[in-house]
Structure 1
């Protein structure tokens, strides 16, 4: 299902006004990628990387919006979209959104690692959460602890969801296995996730599959 949200054309002066006072959160050699606005909302900028690309027919900004819509429909916490823009002057599309409130698991583990008993519960929760995503047909190529958020209510949710596809039925074994490899591609995070076997045990229990790291 594709979003019906309008893609508004935004003039350069209006873009400068919208981003006034913004903090650059992420950038590369091509320019700004993520901006934090003074009202704590975000602008994520997308560029077409190749002249001939599927992005010409299905822009990344649309994919982001569609994936947010799909996650909301499945009850998965995620950002809230405010507007979609095309900014011809800088050859970018942009999504303006309210972030999912909480802390990414990557930052949480680096800044304030939980005690072992709490870490065990969190690994179990992550296993159940990933199994739920797969059961709901969500295949997230950028699945890693930097894109999983622990909310103040203790729920897990997703951010940065442009690189995601959804299906009407649960994922099969091979897609589940491939997606777990994405999650477990960072050695330090993999060591933490698999420290006591709770993550995979929880995933397998919730999914009915028997997968290994």
Structure 2
């Protein structure tokens, strides 16, 4: 992790657009060249982030996803900015639109539901457990592939996920009502049937229980 003093940080972020912030300060910046700077702070004194910072997790997850052929952001650098008590990841964003953006534009379809079901199955088969899975964190790229963003809260395994992990992950995917309504529209089983067709661990009854 490279140290970045306050003067160099201010130069890096000069003219940046603040995309996300809270009461503690900036969280996500779009820099002048279109790249992104994501800032992380340790929220508690005693936490796993003390020995495995969130910024490092983000970088490691990008590396693992790329190795497993899942589109994701491309990291340029990782910084520790002591003057503002933050770690930061400088990266190129994954191009495209999130599924939630497409849904809001009424550009989502059964074909996209089907593609998402296959994509979630692919993640599970490749041992990827994405706790922050929702339509705002899945991107449809210009090439027509699906990829992941905001990936600090992600665990990876050398084996496919167990059934219990898969079913628990569906609870994360469906936690936003807007997402649930689109994925599970009355009489529409494109998402569920596509997931089942691309994996061999869960059966229809298992999935019905998880999606209820």
- Is this a same-fold pair by TM over 0.5? yes
Matches within 5 A, 1:185-196: 185-195=175-185, 196=188
TM value normalised by structure 2 = 0.94
Q: 2:147 aligns with which of 142, 150, 157?
A: 157
Distance 1:107 1:120 in 2: 16
RMSD: 0.8
Q: 2:44 aligns with which of 43, 50, 56?
A: 50
Q: Does 2:182 correspond to 1:199?
A: no
Distance 2:182 2:166 in 1: 20
Runs (4+) of structure 1 moved beyond 4 Å?
none
TM value normalised by structure 1 = 0.94
Matches within 5 A, 1:18-37: 18-37=12-31
2:109 counterpart SS class: helix
Question: Deviations for 1:167-212, whole angstroms, at most 9, x for unmatched residues?
Answer: 0000011000000110011112111111211100100111122212
The answer for unaligned runs of 5 or more in structure 1 is 1-6
The answer for unaligned runs of 5 or more in structure 2 is none
Displacement after TM superposition at 1:105 (Å): 0.5
